[in-house]
């Protein structure tokens, strides 16, 4: 670890913050929202071409533009990765290669030969994920008999029965239902090329024998036999019910859930059910894809999703952290737009919470069926800081819905409550992505922050959520990050939440988390964590410094009241790194992906993260540095707890930390933990 020459002068930090705020203000749309590009990998573009081939609407212009983008993302070793700097991915490379063959690239071209060689060495098409082989089956390049069966009859399973569609996470649920129709119909619409050079001739890898894996492998065998001779009336009724379920969930912009996987499979399923391309549902679905399409000098690419609500809330909170007043015109426009985006109708979440009134916010422009808890918490944190006459009713509705979505264990997931049934993960189909939606530390932390900001840190919901966070702390002092990379994100999110909820800054859980962040600071002063940390523990807390991850670490350390002004301190060195890395236009470069879609499988580069989080970090730093006599309060609502005569809100969590320190292993699972549970449940 290098020695810092001197603490960055406040004037330099202020200039950096002013430039960053000016850049962010310049990105606001006239309607009031902010939205950065949501960059993923080339499977989005390859599958778009395969979808258009399947529907018979692929054009040469679209194919050429997409192929140019896909080629630009190929690495020197011939592979395509799932994230910048990551290892070559077999399935991604197969799909990219297939798209380029569709675009006319010959198999004997140098870049194609390099890709094919990697694919064969990695096991060929036979070793690719199920989703890739489904696409290849629709194109006549893989036998349907060698794929797991998804019967559409599962649409009839009641919500209490195992493996019903509501046991799946919302993103998986919306994908599985249309895929049951595709699986039942087994369409083949051949490509004009053959992919023999990607096959090894070996059998696909077998699932492990024994336990649930053996049981579900046997079940898949039964379903294959049923697939050959289904009950005609039941099969017809199931497909019709599944199609109706799909149509009922199409959003106003033509998407399904505002995300790519259910969108493309829903269009395929409805096509197989006889929906013509000029049917309003199909027309709206295909037209909607244009909104997710980016065209520039590199070609044509699709966003897997769009994040305007999330980006707008983050941008508003960042500007407010930087000192902009709540009645600033840009903040007021953002608030107006967010208020209009409130979800006021029911969705699939009501299956588990039927008596809960609607409320909250979704991630996307037009997703009214799937509000999420993370966005709702972040929007509440933004709107409550804006002196707007219409914010209070919306915040109250959002708070009611958000707290009502607590899972039984006290934690909070992204979209559903108690979506934790592990059986879904055992199906032979499930070899890619997260298929359930259990509570996570980052979402739970954001909820706790919102509760504390609204003066509800002493509520039973908040106490149980804080207890959940204490239990979820890793032995090394960090927290796992489900929706951001990874332990830096989780730890940077949890620390402000615990402090806002009244946990002492000198509590063991806080000290351990701070020590973890300080221990994982890079020599250049920044922080970074490679996405491989989801698969390989050796990468936890390790990676090239990035602006967003450096900001997350700083936000956590500042909440824990780490000294500001010590030139050798972690905070000063991190702030210096941000100031020195800033571009002349006020933003930062960030090629590395720091967002997470599916841990281990699908990652995101949120192009606004590199700007909004450094603004928040620098703004909070200056606030702490300018007012050394006042304790840094995280979000404004933490002040409510500081007014308590005891200085800690008389919270059970503080006592819980004492109990946690008494445990032999420090994880709070001994008698002290049980005492905390008693306090919480008796509140």
Active site residues: 374
Q: Which residues contact 88 (CB under 8 A, 6 or more apart)?
A: 75, 77, 78, 79, 80, 81, 118, 122
Return the number of other C-beta atoms located less than 10 Å from residue 574's C-beta: 30
Give the residue among 552, 572, 547 at the shortest CA–CA distance from 562.
572
Distance of CA 479 to the CA centre of its chain: 16
User: Which sign, positive or negative, has the C-alpha torsion 78, 79, 84, 86?
Assistant: negative
DSSP character at residue 256: B
Q: Which residues contact 458 (CB under 8 A, 6 or more apart)?
A: 502, 649, 650, 651, 683
3-state secondary structure string, 98-109?
HHHHHCCCCCCC
Give the residue among 257, 307, 256 at the shortest CA–CA distance from 285.
256
Helix (H, G, I), strand (E, B) or coil at 361: strand
Distance of CA 367 to the CA centre of its chain: 16
Q: Is 457 in contact with 451 (CB distance < 8 Å)? A: yes
Distance of CA 519 to the CA centre of its chain: 26
- The angle at the Cα of 397, spanning 393 to 403, to the nearest 5 degrees, equals 140
Q: For the chain, how far is it from start to end, CA to CA, in angstroms?
A: 47
- How far, in Å, are 454, 476, 481, 653 from residue 440 at the CA level? 21, 17, 8, 19
DSSP character at residue 484: B
d(CA 9, CA 575): 10
**If phi over 0 gives left and psi between -120 and 50 gives alpha, with beta otherwise, what is residue 388?**
beta
Q: Which two tokens stand for residue 285?
A: 């679905």
DSSP character at residue 593: -
Angle between helical axes of 329-340 and 308-321 (0-180°, round to 10): 150
Q: Is 290 in contact with 276 (CB distance < 8 Å)? A: no
Give the burial class of 537: count Cβ atoms within 10 A of its Cβ; 0-12 exposed, 13-18 middle, 19 or more buried: exposed
d(CA 292, CA 518): 40
Q: Which two tokens stand for residue 305?
A: 């999703």
Give the residue among 152, 134, 109 at the shortest CA–CA distance from 47.
134
Q: Which two tokens stand for residue 268?
A: 């395929």
d(CA 377, CA 400): 11
Give the residue among 92, 262, 252 at the shortest CA–CA distance from 177.
262
In which residue are the tokens 């850049």 written? Answer: 23
- How far, in Å, are 20, 400, 444 from residue 451 at the CA level? 29, 11, 10
């Amino acid at each position: 670890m290098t020695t810092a020459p001197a603490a960055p002068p406040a004037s330099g930090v202020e200039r950096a913050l002013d430039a960053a705020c000016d850049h962010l203000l310049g990105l606001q749309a006239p309607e009031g929202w902010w939205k950065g590009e949501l960059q993923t990998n080339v499977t989005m573009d390859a599958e778009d071409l395969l979808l258009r081939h399947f529907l018979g609407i692929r054009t040469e212009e679209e194919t050429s533009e997409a192929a140019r983008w896909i080629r630009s993302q190929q690495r020197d070793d011939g592979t395509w990765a799932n994230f910048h700097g990551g290892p070559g991915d077999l399935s991604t490379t197969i799909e990219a290669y297939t798209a380029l063959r569709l675009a006319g690239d010959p198999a004997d071209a140098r870049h194609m030969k390099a890709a094919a060689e990697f694919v064969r060495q990695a096991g060929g098409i036979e070793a690719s994920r199920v989703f890739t082989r489904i696409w290849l089956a629709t194109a006549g390049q893989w036998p349907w008999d060698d794929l797991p069966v998804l019967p559409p009859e599962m649409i009839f399973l009641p919500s209490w029965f195992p493996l019903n569609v509501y046991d799946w996470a919302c993103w998986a649920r919306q994908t599985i239902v249309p895929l049951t129709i595709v699986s039942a119909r087994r369409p083949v619409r051949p490509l004009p090329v053959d992919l023999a050079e990607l096959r090894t001739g070996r059998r696909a890898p077998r699932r492990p024998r024994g336990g649930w894996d053996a049981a579900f492998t046997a079940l898949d065998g039964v379903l294959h036999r049923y697939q050959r001779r289904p009950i005609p009336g039941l099969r017809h009724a199931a497909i019709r019910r599944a199609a109706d379920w799909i149509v009922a969930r199409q959003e106003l912009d033509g998407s399904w859930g505002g995300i790519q996987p259910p969108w493309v499979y829903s269009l395929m399923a409805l096509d197989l059910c006889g929906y013509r391309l000029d049917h309003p549902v199909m027309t709206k679905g295909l037209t909607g894809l244009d909104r997710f399409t980016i065209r520039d000098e590199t070609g044509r690419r699709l966003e897997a999703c769009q994040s305007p609500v999330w980006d707008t809330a983050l941008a508003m909170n960042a500007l407010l952290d930087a000192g902009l007043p709540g009645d600033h015109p840009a903040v007021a426009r953002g608030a107006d737009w967010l208020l209009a985006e409130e979800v006021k109708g029911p969705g699939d979440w009501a299956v588990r919470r039927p008596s809960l009134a609607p409320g909250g916010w979704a991630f996307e422009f037009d997703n009214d069926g799937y509000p999420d808890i993370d966005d709702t918490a972040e929007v509440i944190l933004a709107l409550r800081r804006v002196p707007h006459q219409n914010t209070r009713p919306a915040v109250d509705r959002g708070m009611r819905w958000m707290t009502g979505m607590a899972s039984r264990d006290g934690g909070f997931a992204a979209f559903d409550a108690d979506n934790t049934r592990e059986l879904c993960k055992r199906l032979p189909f499930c070899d890619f992505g997260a298929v359930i939606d259990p509570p996570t530390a980052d979402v739970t932390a954001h909820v706790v922050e919102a509760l504390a900001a609204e003066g509800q840190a002493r509520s039973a919901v908040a106490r149980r959520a804080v207890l959940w966070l204490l239990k979820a702390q890793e032995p090394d002092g960090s927290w796992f990050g489900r929706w951001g990379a990874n332990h830096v994100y989780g730890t940077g999110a949890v620390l402000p939440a615990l402090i806002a909820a009244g946990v002492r800054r000198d509590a063991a859980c806080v000290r351990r988390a701070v020590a973890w962040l300080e221990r994982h600071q890079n020599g250049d002063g920044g922080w970074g964590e490679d996405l491989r940390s989801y698969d390989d523990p050796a990468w936890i807390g390790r990676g090239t410094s990035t602006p967003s991850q450096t900001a997350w670490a700083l936000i956590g350390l500042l909440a824990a009241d780490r000294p500001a002004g010590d030139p050798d301190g972690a905070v000063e060195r991190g702030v210096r790194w941000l100031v020195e890395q800033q571009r002349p236009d006020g933003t930062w470069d960030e090629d590395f992906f720091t967002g997470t879609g599916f841990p281990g499988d699908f990652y995101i580069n949120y192009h606004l993260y590199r700007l909004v989080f450094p603004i928040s970090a620098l703004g909070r730093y200056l606030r702490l540095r300018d007012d050394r006599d006042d304790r840094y309060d995280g979000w404004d609502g933490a002040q409510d707890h500081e007014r308590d005569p005891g200085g800690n809100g008389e919270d059970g969590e503080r006592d819980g930390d004492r109990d946690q320190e008494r445990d032999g292993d420090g994880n709070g699972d001994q008698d002290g933990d049980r005492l905390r549970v008693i306090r919480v449940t008796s509140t």
